[in-house]
């Protein structure tokens, strides 16, 4: 702490403080009734590669009224879109990776794609300290699944609590810890993407809660590899088999629920759905493939997946593991996407042929390319980039590193580097980036028993983890998240993190303790925390309002005493205001 002594504080003028706070809130567009995401307050006049307006593409929709915010450094762009936001030291480490933006991005992406070579000691230590019973019990999917099923379906949990809520709750806490502490940030962003893409509603049933960790593990193990392999692993997972009703699908009554979503969400996408045309009426491309799919393709695929189930019930091994039931399979010939499936093929081959046809189809490449570009670049990524990525996806559909090639093409593109402000953070990203920027202590939350308080506050944001009931996953466009409800809930939880401490006086997000001893004036405090949280300068008016809020009428260059309770409270409120600002929402 600095030895500087602040001048005697006048009697606290609550009305003056509130007025100043309202001015800051108004500047940030956060007062009640204000537009939640106003146009940027300042757009730089220059068109340079770092500091000018974010890049527009000919294919893009019109820019928001008032223009886009100024394009920040490549590090800010990369760490806010390909990670959950910079933690202390991350931007400096990024800048040290090369002499120019292109080389720094290339080096960072190469490191993150080779995620297994990145040491992750803090995350490992935090997970070990958490002493989870179910989470991380095995990295082998079958072993993990059989163990979870034995403990929480069969009632043999070692701790005596066989509630299906245990693996769900531990999965939730571990996911937050991964977001906060893992150095493998791209891996975490992609895990979040694929959980949405292959969405399973975790509270659909006790079986979903028990098997969800298994689904997450197989997604993580395949997300840097081959999409076709991932597709089959998901199709065989009991979480998906049960959620979309395929586990009881048989030749006596094929259930189309899974195959409908397999076509519409997981592969070709609704954009390639041609309705009720007959299969022979669908136009073909230059390779003789149907250009899209029709209802008959879904019905035929449902017949191909009959018999795909898992072990459940007292007369059926009851292990939760995948089970193919030959006697339930429709063994007669089928036709899916122009692929003829003869009768009496080997076990599981009908369905595997369908997965091959879907993974290879150019429509799947286009659908996945658009979704990935939407997540990593903007709500309306340039069509030229989508086309390039789609062609790569389809050309490499059998390559073991197919998905790594796709991610690299997106993340090293000009569109990735030169786009900013066309996406906002969803609640998971808002809170995750606040926790990272503020170096919050999630283990302290767990040890103090306040994890549940954190989670129920977070759940009010509308993005409760793994808890989207529909199979399409949480929406990934600005319009779905700019309403007042998720914004206010995010402000509340960020303020709660800043204001609350444990019985020992340790704050979950220790603003005062993390402020260097030589940083004491209002100007210095604002500049330190602006750099820490945003990694870039704020518009002048916004910075002025923050300084006035912190100075409270005193000389903004005069040292403040952070040992004073009111001053420390104001500093914590200052950081809270930064988390509330539109600038903090841009991706």
Which contacts (CB < 8 Å, 24+ apart) does range 352-355 have?
A: 352/232, 353/304, 354/301, 354/304, 354/305, 355/228, 355/231, 355/232, 355/235
pLDDT at position 65: 53
Burial class (CB in 10 A: 0-12, 13-18, 19+), 460: middle
pLDDT at position 44: 31
Read off the pLDDT band of 573 (50, 70, 90): very high
For the chain, give the percent of residues with pLDDT over 70. 89
Tell me whether residue 61 is in a domain. no
pLDDT at position 42: 30
Read off the pLDDT band of 93 (50, 70, 90): very high
In this predicted model, what pLDDT tens digit does every residue of 329-372 receive, in sequence order? 999 999 999 999 999 999 999 999 999 999 999 999 999 999 99
CA within 13 Å, CB half, 573: 20
Average of pLDDT values for 519-547?
A: 97
pLDDT at position 515: 97
In this predicted model, what pLDDT tens digit does every residue of 433-485 receive, in sequence order? 999 999 999 888 887 778 888 999 999 999 999 999 999 999 999 989 988 89
Q: What is the dihedral of CA 370, 465, 311, 313, to 10 degrees?
A: -140
Q: How far apart are CA 567 and CA 562, in angstroms?
A: 6
Beta strands 339-341 and 322-324: pairing type? Answer: unpaired
In this predicted model, what pLDDT tens digit does every residue of 262-275 receive, in sequence order? 999 999 999 999 99
pLDDT at position 451: 86
CA nearest 187: which of 225, 213, 214?
225
Find the helix or strand (DSSP H, E) in which 322 lies: strand 322-324
Tell me whether residue 235 is in a domain. no
CB atoms within 10 A of CB 521: 20
Q: How far apart are CA 25 and CA 569, in angstroms?
A: 17
Tell me whether residue 451 is in a domain. no
pLDDT at position 68: 86
In this predicted model, what pLDDT tens digit does every residue of 170-198 receive, in sequence order? 999 999 999 999 999 999 999 999 999 99
For the chain, give the percent of residues with pLDDT over 90. 83
Per-residue pLDDT for 163 more than 50?
yes
How many domains in the chain?
A: 1
pLDDT at position 39: 32
Category of 449 on φ-ψ map: left (φ > 0), alpha (ψ -120 to 50) or beta = left
Higher pLDDT, 261 or 23: 261
Tell me whether residue 518 is in a domain. yes
Per-residue pLDDT for 13 more than 70?
no
In this predicted model, what pLDDT tens digit does every residue of 482-532 receive, in sequence order? 888 999 999 999 999 999 888 788 899 999 999 999 999 999 999 999 999
Tell me whether residue 520 is in a domain. yes
Look up residue 76 and give its two tokens: 């800010």
Burial class (CB in 10 A: 0-12, 13-18, 19+), 428: buried
**What is the DSSP code (8-state) at residue 225?**
S
Per-residue pLDDT for 23 more than 50?
no
Alpha carbon distances (Å) from 4 to 76, 376, 558: 34, 46, 9
Tell me whether residue 556 is in a domain. yes
pLDDT at position 2: 37
Which residues form the domain of 558?
A: 1-34+511-587
pLDDT at position 48: 35
SS (H, E, C) 273-315: ECCCCCHHHCCECCCCCECCECHHHHHHHHHHCCCEEECCCCC
Average of pLDDT values for 60-67?
A: 54
pLDDT at position 494: 93
Tell me whether residue 57 is in a domain. no
Burial class (CB in 10 A: 0-12, 13-18, 19+), 405: middle
Average of pLDDT values for 207-228?
A: 98
pLDDT at position 564: 95
Per-residue pLDDT for 294 more than 50?
yes
Tell me whether residue 560 is in a domain. yes
Q: Are 316 and 322 in contact (CB under 8 A)?
A: no
In this predicted model, what pLDDT tens digit does every residue of 385-425 receive, in sequence order? 999 999 999 999 999 999 999 999 999 999 999 999 999 99
Look up residue 473 and give its two tokens: 């996953």
In this predicted model, what pLDDT tens digit does every residue of 134-148 receive, in sequence order? 999 999 999 999 999
Supply the pTM of this predicted model. Answer: 0.90
Per-residue pLDDT for 98 more than 70?
yes
Read off the pLDDT band of 66 (50, 70, 90): low
Q: How far apart are CA 529 and CA 534, in angstroms?
A: 8
CA nearest 262: which of 202, 311, 308?
308
pLDDT at position 56: 43
Average pLDDT score over the chain: 89
For CA atoms 505, 508, 511, 517, give the dihedral sign.
positive
> E strands of 55-128, at which residues?
none
**What is the DSSP code (8-state) at residue 262?**
I
């Amino acid at each position: 702490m600095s030895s500087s002594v602040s001048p005697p504080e006048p009697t606290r003028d609550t009305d003056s403080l509130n007025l100043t706070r309202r001015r800051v809130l108004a500047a940030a567009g956060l007062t009640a009734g204000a537009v939640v995401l106003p146009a940027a307050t300042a757009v730089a006049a220059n068109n340079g590669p770092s500091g000018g307006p974010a890049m527009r593409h000919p294919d893009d929709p019109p820019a928001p009224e008032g223009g886009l915010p100024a394009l920040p450094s490549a590090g800010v762009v990369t760490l806010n879109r390909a990670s959950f936001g910079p933690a202390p030291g991350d931007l400096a480490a990024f800048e040290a990776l090369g002499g120019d933006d292109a080389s720094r991005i290339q080096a960072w992406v190469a490191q993150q794609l080779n995620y297994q070579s990145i040491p992750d000691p803090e995350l490992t230590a935090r997970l070990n300290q958490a002493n989870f019973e179910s989470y991380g019990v095995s990295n082998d999917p079958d072993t993990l699944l059989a163990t979870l099923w034995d403990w929480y379906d069969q009632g043999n949990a070692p701790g005596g609590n066989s509630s299906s809520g245990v693996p769900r709750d531990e999965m939730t806490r571990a996911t937050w810890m991964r977001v906060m502490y893992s150095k493998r940030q791209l891996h975490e962003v992609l895990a979040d993407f694929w959980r949405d893409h292959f969405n399973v509603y975790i509270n659909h049933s006790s079986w979903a809660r028990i098997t969800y960790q298994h689904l997450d593990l197989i997604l993580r193990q395949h997300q840097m590899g081959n999409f076709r392999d991932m597709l089959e692993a998901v199709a065989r997972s009991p979480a998906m088999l049960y959620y979309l009703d395929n586990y009881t699908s048989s030749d006596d009554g094929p259930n189309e629920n899974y195959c409908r979503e397999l076509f519409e969400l997981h592969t070709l996408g609704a954009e390639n759905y041609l309705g009720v045309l007959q299969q022979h009426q669908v136009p073909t491309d230059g390779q003789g493939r149907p250009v899209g799919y029709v209802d008959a393709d879904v019905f035929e695929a449902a017949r191909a997946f009959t018999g795909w189930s898992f072990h459940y019930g007292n007369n059926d091994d009851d292990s939760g593991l995948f089970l193919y039931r030959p006697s339930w399979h429709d063994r007669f010939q089928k036709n899916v996407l122009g692929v003829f499936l003869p009768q009496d093929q080997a076990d599981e081959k009908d369905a595997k042929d369908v997965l091959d046809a879907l993974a290879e189809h150019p429509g799947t490449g286009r659908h996945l390319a658009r979704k990935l570009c939407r997540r990593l670049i903007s709500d309306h990524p340039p069509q030229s980039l989508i086309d390039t990525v789609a062609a790569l996806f389809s050309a490499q559909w059998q390559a073991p590193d197919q998905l790594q090639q796709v991610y690299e093409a997106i993340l090293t593109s000009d569109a990735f580097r030169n786009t900013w402000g066309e996406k906002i953070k969803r609640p998971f990203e808002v809170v995750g980036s606040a926790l990272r920027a503020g170096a919050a202590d999630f283990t302290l939350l767990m040890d103090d028993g306040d994890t549940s308080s954190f989670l129920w506050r977070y759940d009010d944001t509308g993005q409760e983890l793994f808890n989207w009931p529909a199979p399409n996953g949480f929406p990934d466009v600005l319009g779905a998240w700019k309403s007042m409800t998720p914004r206010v809930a995010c402000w509340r939880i960020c303020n709660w993190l800043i204001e609350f401490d444990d019985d020992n006086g340790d704050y979950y997000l220790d603003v005062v303790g993390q402020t260097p001893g030589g940083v004491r004036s209002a100007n210095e405090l604002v500049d330190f925390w602006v750099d820490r949280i945003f990694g870039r300068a704020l518009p002048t008016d916004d910075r002025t309002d923050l300084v006035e809020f912190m100075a409270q009428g005193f000389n903004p260059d005069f040292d403040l005493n952070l040992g004073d309770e009111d001053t420390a409270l104001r500093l914590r409120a200052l950081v809270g205001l930064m988390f509330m600002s539109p600038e903090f929402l841009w991706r």
